[in-house]
Each structure stands twice: as structure tokens, then as C-alpha cells.
Amino acid sequence: MKKNTNTYKGIYAMHKYWGKKPFDEISRYIEEYSRKGDVVLDCFCGSGVTLVEAIRLNRNCIGVDINPISIKLSQAVSSPIRLDSLENAFSYIKNKLEGIIHSLYTVNLDGVSTVTTHTIWKKDVPTEVWFSCGKKKEIRQAKQIDKEMALFPSIEPKWYPESVMIENSRINVDYRQKVADLFTPRAIVALSLILDEIKGIEDAALRNLLEITFSGALSQASKLVFVIRNRKKNGKVCDRAEVGSWVIGYWKPEEHFEINVWNCFENRYRRVAKGAVEINSLFEESLIQDAINPDIRIVNCSATDMPLDDDSVDYVFIDPPHTNRILYLEQSLMWNAWLGIDGLVDWEKEIVVSEAKQRDKRLADYNELLSRSFSEIKRVLKPDKYFSVAFNCLEDDAWQSLLSSFSDLGFEFVSISPLAYSATSVVQDNRKNALKTDFVLTFKNTKAIRQPRILVSQDDTALGKIIHQMTERGSAPAVYEVINEVFGECIPSGYVFPVSQIIKTYSTFNP
């Protein structure tokens, strides 16, 4: 399988979201299993990739997600916008706030006024400051005034979230930790000023896009930006610190950056503005002028209970949470809290496995809720139409429950194929609970009440033969490559080996 080398750009670079699938691959599935004018549903729509590709292919689309930030993202990337209105709104905020926010970072040293762009903190002490003096950019050692200005800003904040996060060591959230703890007091002031202006925008679509701009800037304005040191460039080690980025979880590195909030917001706006140009290219000029698209429906609810009519959808493509691999709601709390929509989260209905004790989200609950979502898909999908699901997991029970649900609901197996991530995916790994690639399984919605179940085989001899044939081809395959091939060969034949058995048998060939 070739690696997908497409990166997230344009529309898909507007805002971070985890586990984005390669848009061109999703487009291929939509094109293969639906026609122009059909209704395409993604009831785990995330950042809206499926919706954008459906629009691009002249399909109507419905997006459903339990995560409020997903709804805002999906609305933003699937709605035309007046570019002049967007630029005017940003310019108004810039003219009003840029100078005020920069004043929070302005230091007078030896009679010279400088604006801090980056501050490096180590063990809660600023150690290095990057600053601009006119057009000139320089670096100096931090002073006591740099700490005082960050911790005791001269301006009072507007509203900011006091939301308490869910304790979970897996994603580095401590007991009673607050969203505000991820930011310096100075950053909180600056962010609150920007958000207050955005909330005053009357046009809903425009306000939503600028809220997405704001939430997209949050991570770079936080304490989550780590310092990169000693990176090799052109064969030489660079001794200057470089700016990292928020990867996943809420790990606050011992040495981290504090970046000028206005610069974070303006840089994110430039990305969003570029994405908006591409969004508009999907629509007719009349729709852009009126800023409407009547063929898109986006709903904030659980996939287990969708307000959709029976037999109303022509094709479904979903990428549900893969057990505990990505804790979508927990890791979106920073965004949802700052936008004031964390109160809309229905934590109980999220289909996920979480190590957070207070959530009590176990594999049995995950399997049950995921099966209920498949039942809903069965109800809304027209007879003889197709349903594709991307899945990635090392849990035997999760795979067996998944496959059994399809059979029990009468879905007829059509195909299975691996799906490579984008080259820039931050969760492309083979850590515990994850394969190196996803599988996309496609089924046909038959009128049958049930289909024969895909059986679980314990035949060590047959499995050993398959793996032996792989090792004879040349270099020893990685374990994830073995799992990929075994699944791809066996599931179409009506049986599957447990993942744990594949790994155990593989180890006998690669001790």
C-alpha cells in the first residue's frame, strides 16, 4: 500500500482536529458508492472532511456529531462566506485590539520600546525573550519584568472559561485542573479581549468563522507549545530554539513557549482566509452572495439517535472513535470551553473508551453504543445502498463486536481495504490500541434481517501459513503490515483471526 502524501492545506488547514483522513481517499469512496444529487451522511463528521468532499462531487450532505466544536467546524468548512465581509470584520478587530494587546508585551529597556513575540519558560521562569524593535527581530535573556508582565497584566480580562477539566493521566489532565491553567494570565487577558469582540458580530456565519479562527489559535497561545532544540538542518545542528506545536493531550512541557496572542490570532486568520477562498470555489456565485447553501444539514446529536427520516440517505461514510485511541470530547474541552459551548456536551452518549474514572466509559459500553449507531444507519440508509466505516483497533472484542453488529443488522459485506493517513497526521502510529493504518469496510444495506456472521478462527496452522508466505517474499514485514494483509485476505472469505493471535503467531517468525 502506498503512503498517502497529501497534506492538509486550504480548507483542511483552517483548524486542527485529530485523525483527519486523506480527503482524496474519502472522495474516491463517495464517488464510487453514490451519484450526483445523492444524499451522503457522515454521523461522526468531525472536522467536516466528508461533507466538503460530498459538496465537491455535487452531492447533498448531512453531518452529525456529538462534539459541539465539530458542528462549528463542519458549518464553517461547508458554508460560503462573503470574503469582503470577513476581511472587514477582521480589520475592525485588528484596528481596535492589536495595539492594546501588543501593549501587554511591550517592554522598555534602556529607553528603547520592544514588543515581545515569544517568551521561553522553563520551570515556570522566563529564560529567553524574542522581541521586535521596528522591523528588527532579536533575542535576549529574560528579566524579572518579563515574568511580572506575564503573570500580572495591566489590563483586566473579559469573560474567560473557568471550566474544570476531566482528570485523566492518559492525556495529562490533573485533579481539578482548569482550562485556564493552560494559559498565562497575560494570554487569558488578550484572548478574552479578542473573543469579546467576536461575540459582538451579528452575522452568524461570519461570527462562526471567526470563532473557529479564535479556537484554532488557542493551542499556539497556550503553554502547550514545546521548545525544539538541537534539530539538524542541512547536516548541521541548529543551536537556536525553534517553536513546536500542540500535538495531542494536554502535556505542558517543562520548557515551553508563550507566544504573543495577537500574532497567534492573526496568523490563524490568514490560514482561515485562504481556506475561505477554497470553500467559496465549491459554490455558485449566487449562493456566495447570499451566504446560503440549502443542501447541507448539520446536527449536534449522538449517532445513536438521529433526527433523520427512514430510508432518506443514499450513502454513508463514517470514521467513528476507535475505542480509546483518541478521546475526542476530552481533548476538545479547551476549544469548547473557550467558545462557551462545553455545556452542550452530552458526555454520556460519546462512543469512546476512556481511562478517566469519573466517566466510566468501558469497552462494553463502547461496543453497545457503536452497535446502536449502526442500527440507526440501517434505518436511515435506503435499501441496496452502501455504508463504509473506517476502523483502527487492536482490541479483539471491539473487532468481533463490530463485525457481528454488521451481520446481525443484515449488512452484506462488500469490500475491505487499508486506508493510509495523510503524511502530516499526528496519530499515525502503531502504539497500543492502534494499527498503522485504518481499514475501510464497505457493506450493502440489504433487506435481509440478518447475514451470516464473520466467524472467528483459531486455526494456528492456517494463520502461520499466511504469515510464513509473507516473510518469504523478502524483508521481514512489520506487525501492522501482517495484520493488514491477514485481515484483507480472511474477512472477504467469511472469517477472521483475533488480533492478539496474529501478533502472537507473528512473534514466532520474528522472535
Helices 83-103 & 185-199, crossing angle to 10 degrees?
150
Residue 458 carries which side chain, given as an amino acid letter? Answer: Q
Phi, psi of 112 (to 5 degrees): -110, 130
How far is 246 from 270, CA to CA, in rounded Å?
19
Long-range contacts of 304-308 (CB under 8 A, 24+ apart): 304/349, 304/351, 304/369, 304/372, 304/373, 304/376, 305/376, 306/43, 306/64, 306/376, 306/380, 308/41, 308/62, 308/380
Domains recognised in the chain with CATH numbers? 10-78+293-453 (3.40.50.150), 83-276 (no CATH), 457-511 (no CATH)
β-strand pairing of 60-65 with 39-42: parallel
Owner of C-alpha cell 488578550:
190
SS3 labels along 20-89: CCCHHHHHHHHHHHCCCCCEEEECCCCCCHHHHHHHHCCCEEEEEECCHHHHHHHHHHCCCCCHHHHHHH
How far is 126 from 184, CA to CA, in rounded Å?
12
Residue 391 carries which side chain, given as an amino acid letter? Answer: F
How far is 140 from 198, CA to CA, in rounded Å?
35
CA atoms within 13 A on the CB side of 500: 8
Q: Tell me how far CA of residue 73 lies from CA of 53, 79, 200, 206, 480, in angstroms.
A: 15, 10, 20, 13, 32
β-strand pairing of 438-445 with 495-496: unpaired
From first to last of the 511 residues of the chain, give the pLDDT tens digit: 344 444 567 899 999 998 888 899 999 999 999 999 999 999 999 999 999 999 999 999 999 999 999 999 999 999 999 999 999 999 999 999 999 999 999 999 888 899 999 999 999 999 999 998 877 889 999 999 999 999 999 999 999 999 999 999 999 999 999 999 999 999 999 999 999 999 999 999 999 999 999 999 999 999 999 999 877 777 676 778 899 988 889 999 999 999 999 999 999 999 999 999 999 998 876 655 555 555 789 999 999 999 999 999 999 999 999 999 999 999 999 999 999 999 999 999 999 999 999 999 999 999 999 999 999 999 999 999 999 999 988 888 998 999 999 999 999 999 888 876 544 444 444 445 456 678 899 999 998 788 888 889 988 898 988 888 888 876 677 777 788 788 888 888 889 999 889 988 888 876 6
Owner of C-alpha cell 508563550:
258
Residue 376 CB partners (closer than 8 Å, separation 6+): 43, 303, 304, 305, 306
Whether the CA torsion 24, 26, 32, 38 is positive or negative: it is negative
Whether the CA torsion 146, 148, 151, 154 is positive or negative: it is negative
Whether the CA torsion 492, 494, 497, 498 is positive or negative: it is positive
β-strand pairing of 255-259 with 236-237: unpaired
Strand partners, 149: none
How far is 298 from 287, CA to CA, in rounded Å?
18
β-strand pairing of 438-445 with 411-419: antiparallel
Long-range contacts of 238-243 (CB under 8 A, 24+ apart): 240/139, 241/120, 241/128, 243/118
Residue 325 carries which side chain, given as an amino acid letter? Answer: R
Phi, psi of 258 (to 5 degrees): -120, 115
pTM for the complete prediction? 0.91
